[in-house]
Chains A and B, each alone.
Chain A
Amino acid sequence: KQEVTQIPAALSVPEGENLVLNCSFTDSAIYNLQWFRQDPGKGLTSLLLIQSSQREQTSGRLNASLDKSSGRSTLYIAASQPGDSATYLCAVRDGQNFVFGPGTRLSVLP
Protein backbone atom coordinates (compact mmCIF):
# COMPACT_ATOMS: atom_id res chain seq x y z
CA LYS A 1 0.00 0.00 0.00
CA GLN A 2 1.33 3.44 -0.95
CA GLU A 3 2.50 5.59 1.95
CA VAL A 4 3.53 9.22 1.74
CA THR A 5 5.63 11.00 4.34
CA GLN A 6 6.77 14.61 4.62
CA ILE A 7 9.76 16.03 6.42
CA PRO A 8 9.94 18.25 8.37
CA ALA A 9 6.53 18.31 10.06
CA ALA A 10 6.99 22.00 10.83
CA LEU A 11 9.47 24.66 9.76
CA SER A 12 10.03 28.25 10.83
CA VAL A 13 12.31 30.53 8.78
CA PRO A 14 13.06 34.25 8.55
CA GLU A 15 11.72 36.17 5.59
CA GLY A 16 13.88 36.04 2.46
CA GLU A 17 15.33 32.61 3.11
CA ASN A 18 15.28 29.87 0.48
CA LEU A 19 13.85 26.59 1.74
CA VAL A 20 13.18 22.99 0.73
CA LEU A 21 10.27 20.78 1.72
CA ASN A 22 10.56 17.02 1.29
CA CYS A 23 8.07 14.36 0.27
CA SER A 24 8.74 10.60 0.13
CA PHE A 25 6.58 7.79 -1.21
CA THR A 26 7.00 4.04 -0.93
CA ASP A 27 5.78 2.80 -4.34
CA SER A 28 7.44 4.36 -7.38
CA ALA A 29 4.63 3.26 -9.74
CA ILE A 30 2.86 6.61 -9.73
CA TYR A 31 1.11 8.57 -12.46
CA ASN A 32 1.91 12.00 -11.08
CA LEU A 33 2.67 13.98 -7.93
CA GLN A 34 0.99 17.16 -6.85
CA TRP A 35 1.96 19.82 -4.31
CA PHE A 36 -0.79 21.75 -2.52
CA ARG A 37 -0.99 24.66 -0.14
CA GLN A 38 -3.58 24.80 2.67
CA ASP A 39 -4.33 27.87 4.77
CA PRO A 40 -5.92 27.29 8.20
CA GLY A 41 -9.56 26.21 7.93
CA LYS A 42 -9.50 26.37 4.14
CA GLY A 43 -9.48 23.98 1.23
CA LEU A 44 -6.37 23.00 -0.71
CA THR A 45 -4.88 25.08 -3.49
CA SER A 46 -2.91 23.29 -6.18
CA LEU A 47 0.63 24.62 -6.64
CA LEU A 48 2.35 22.26 -9.05
CA LEU A 49 1.63 18.96 -10.80
CA ILE A 50 4.50 16.79 -12.01
CA GLN A 51 3.71 13.95 -14.38
CA SER A 52 5.63 10.69 -13.88
CA SER A 53 7.63 11.32 -17.05
CA GLN A 54 8.78 14.76 -15.86
CA ARG A 55 11.66 15.66 -13.55
CA GLU A 56 10.54 19.10 -12.42
CA GLN A 57 8.00 21.88 -12.69
CA THR A 58 8.35 25.58 -11.96
CA SER A 59 5.85 28.29 -11.12
CA GLY A 60 7.16 31.67 -10.05
CA ARG A 61 9.23 31.24 -6.89
CA LEU A 62 8.29 27.56 -6.60
CA ASN A 63 10.17 24.64 -8.10
CA ALA A 64 9.19 21.01 -7.58
CA SER A 65 11.35 18.05 -8.52
CA LEU A 66 10.49 14.38 -8.84
CA ASP A 67 12.80 11.36 -8.58
CA LYS A 68 10.54 8.36 -9.09
CA SER A 69 13.26 5.75 -8.69
CA SER A 70 14.13 6.96 -5.20
CA GLY A 71 10.53 7.79 -4.27
CA ARG A 72 11.23 11.43 -3.51
CA SER A 73 10.01 14.89 -4.41
CA THR A 74 11.16 18.28 -3.17
CA LEU A 75 9.43 21.64 -3.20
CA TYR A 76 11.85 24.55 -3.33
CA ILE A 77 10.59 27.98 -2.31
CA ALA A 78 12.85 30.89 -3.19
CA ALA A 79 12.99 34.17 -1.28
CA SER A 80 10.29 33.19 1.20
CA GLN A 81 7.67 35.76 2.27
CA PRO A 82 5.29 35.90 5.27
CA GLY A 83 2.44 35.22 2.85
CA ASP A 84 3.96 31.81 2.16
CA SER A 85 3.04 30.72 5.69
CA ALA A 86 0.70 27.74 5.34
CA THR A 87 0.69 23.95 5.39
CA TYR A 88 2.14 22.31 2.29
CA LEU A 89 0.93 18.86 1.31
CA CYS A 90 2.15 16.50 -1.36
CA ALA A 91 0.02 13.80 -2.95
CA VAL A 92 0.81 11.00 -5.38
CA ARG A 93 -1.71 9.59 -7.84
CA ASP A 94 -1.66 5.88 -7.21
CA GLY A 95 -4.02 4.15 -9.61
CA GLN A 96 -7.31 6.03 -9.56
CA ASN A 97 -6.72 8.01 -6.39
CA PHE A 98 -4.40 10.41 -4.69
CA VAL A 99 -2.55 9.43 -1.51
CA PHE A 100 -1.66 12.41 0.66
CA GLY A 101 1.18 13.09 3.03
CA PRO A 102 0.54 14.68 6.45
CA GLY A 103 1.94 18.05 5.40
CA THR A 104 4.66 20.46 6.47
CA ARG A 105 3.53 23.52 8.43
CA LEU A 106 5.62 26.50 7.31
CA SER A 107 5.95 29.78 9.18
CA VAL A 108 7.84 32.63 7.54
CA LEU A 109 8.72 35.30 10.08
CA PRO A 110 8.87 38.97 9.05
Chain B
Amino acid sequence: DGGITQSPKYLFRKEGQNVTLSCEQNLNHDAMYWYRQDPGQGLRLIYYSQIVNDFQKGDIAEGYSVSREKKESFPLTVTSAQKNPTAFYLCASSFLTDTQYFGPGTRLTVL
Protein backbone atom coordinates (compact mmCIF):
# COMPACT_ATOMS: atom_id res chain seq x y z
CA ASP B 1 0.00 0.00 0.00
CA GLY B 2 1.94 3.00 -1.30
CA GLY B 3 1.71 6.48 0.13
CA ILE B 4 2.85 8.97 2.73
CA THR B 5 2.25 8.50 6.42
CA GLN B 6 2.51 11.07 9.18
CA SER B 7 2.47 10.46 12.89
CA PRO B 8 1.11 11.26 15.29
CA LYS B 9 -2.23 12.64 14.08
CA TYR B 10 -2.49 14.89 17.15
CA LEU B 11 0.38 16.19 19.26
CA PHE B 12 0.45 18.36 22.35
CA ARG B 13 3.50 20.31 23.39
CA LYS B 14 4.32 22.03 26.63
CA GLU B 15 6.19 25.30 26.76
CA GLY B 16 9.95 24.84 26.29
CA GLN B 17 9.62 21.34 24.89
CA ASN B 18 10.94 20.03 21.58
CA VAL B 19 8.72 17.65 19.63
CA THR B 20 9.36 15.61 16.50
CA LEU B 21 6.82 14.92 13.75
CA SER B 22 7.31 11.82 11.64
CA CYS B 23 6.93 11.62 7.84
CA GLU B 24 7.54 8.41 5.86
CA GLN B 25 6.96 7.65 2.19
CA ASN B 26 7.28 4.45 0.17
CA LEU B 27 6.76 6.05 -3.24
CA ASN B 28 10.50 6.19 -4.02
CA HIS B 29 10.22 9.96 -4.34
CA ASP B 30 13.41 12.01 -4.32
CA ALA B 31 11.98 15.22 -2.88
CA MET B 32 10.22 15.72 0.43
CA TYR B 33 8.65 18.84 1.92
CA TRP B 34 7.26 20.17 5.19
CA TYR B 35 4.50 22.79 5.21
CA ARG B 36 2.66 24.63 7.93
CA GLN B 37 -1.02 25.56 7.52
CA ASP B 38 -2.78 28.09 9.73
CA PRO B 39 -6.56 28.62 9.69
CA GLY B 40 -7.77 30.41 6.58
CA GLN B 41 -4.29 30.53 5.07
CA GLY B 42 -2.45 28.69 2.36
CA LEU B 43 0.46 26.37 3.01
CA ARG B 44 3.83 27.88 3.90
CA LEU B 45 7.05 25.97 3.23
CA ILE B 46 9.22 25.17 6.25
CA TYR B 47 11.96 22.91 4.80
CA TYR B 48 12.49 20.79 1.74
CA SER B 49 14.94 18.11 0.68
CA GLN B 50 15.72 16.92 -2.82
CA ILE B 51 18.25 14.24 -1.91
CA VAL B 52 19.40 12.25 1.09
CA ASN B 53 21.62 14.17 3.51
CA ASP B 54 20.71 17.52 1.97
CA PHE B 55 17.92 19.97 2.77
CA GLN B 56 17.14 23.66 2.35
CA LYS B 57 15.22 26.22 4.37
CA GLY B 58 11.86 27.39 3.16
CA ASP B 59 10.08 30.64 3.95
CA ILE B 60 9.50 29.99 7.67
CA ALA B 61 12.36 27.73 8.86
CA GLU B 62 13.11 29.59 12.09
CA GLY B 63 12.42 27.41 15.14
CA TYR B 64 12.33 24.18 13.11
CA SER B 65 14.92 21.55 12.18
CA VAL B 66 14.92 18.52 9.89
CA SER B 67 17.08 15.58 8.87
CA ARG B 68 17.14 13.36 5.79
CA GLU B 69 19.20 10.31 6.65
CA LYS B 70 17.05 7.96 4.54
CA LYS B 71 15.21 8.54 1.29
CA GLU B 72 11.96 7.36 2.87
CA SER B 73 12.02 9.54 5.97
CA PHE B 74 11.99 13.30 6.63
CA PRO B 75 11.26 14.06 10.31
CA LEU B 76 10.54 17.60 11.47
CA THR B 77 11.50 18.85 14.95
CA VAL B 78 9.62 21.80 16.36
CA THR B 79 11.99 23.39 18.84
CA SER B 80 11.30 25.60 21.82
CA ALA B 81 12.56 28.52 19.73
CA GLN B 82 9.37 28.36 17.64
CA LYS B 83 7.17 30.86 19.49
CA ASN B 84 3.85 30.06 17.87
CA PRO B 85 3.91 26.39 16.86
CA THR B 86 0.19 25.64 17.08
CA ALA B 87 -0.77 24.71 13.52
CA PHE B 88 -1.53 21.89 11.10
CA TYR B 89 1.66 20.37 9.67
CA LEU B 90 1.69 18.67 6.29
CA CYS B 91 4.40 16.56 4.72
CA ALA B 92 4.61 15.98 0.96
CA SER B 93 6.82 14.15 -1.49
CA SER B 94 7.37 14.12 -5.23
CA PHE B 95 9.68 13.26 -8.04
CA LEU B 96 11.68 16.43 -8.60
CA THR B 97 9.36 18.39 -10.89
CA ASP B 98 6.25 16.27 -10.70
CA THR B 99 3.00 16.10 -8.75
CA GLN B 100 3.23 16.51 -4.98
CA TYR B 101 1.54 13.89 -2.83
CA PHE B 102 0.54 14.80 0.72
CA GLY B 103 0.28 12.92 3.98
CA PRO B 104 -2.77 13.19 6.27
CA GLY B 105 -1.18 15.85 8.51
CA THR B 106 -0.32 16.33 12.19
CA ARG B 107 -2.17 18.85 14.31
CA LEU B 108 0.15 20.35 16.92
CA THR B 109 -1.22 22.23 19.91
CA VAL B 110 0.79 24.07 22.54
CA LEU B 111 -0.57 23.70 26.06
Contact = CB atoms under 8 A, between A and B. Distances in A.
Chain B binding surface SS class: strand
Interface in B52-93: 56, 58, 88, 90, 92
A50 B105 CA distance: 25
Contacts of A44: 43, 90, 92, 100, 102
A32 interface: yes
Interface stretch (A59-67, A76-84, A89-97): A89-97
A91 B4 CA distance: 19
Contacts of A45: 102
Contact of A43 (B33, B40, B56, B103): B103
A46 B42 contact: no
Contacts of B44: 100
A5 to B, nearest CB: 10
Nearest to B44: A100
Given A49-B98, A49-B99, A96-B48, A103 B104 contact: no
A97 B97 contact: no
B18 to A, nearest CB: 24
Interface in A29-46: 31-32, 34, 36, 41-46
A34 B41 contact: no
B56 to A, nearest CB: 8
Interface residues of A, number: 22
B107 interface: yes
A19 to B, nearest CB: 20
B101 A100 contact: no
B22 interface: no
A44 B90 CA distance: 9
Given A43-B103, A46-B101, A97-B33, 12 more contacts: A41-B105, A41-B107, A44-B100, A45-B102, A89-B43, A91-B43, A93-B97, A98-B45, A98-B100, A100-B43, A102-B40, A102-B41
Interface of B: 4, 6, 33, 35, 40-45, 48, 50, 56, 58, 88, 90, 92, 97-105, 107
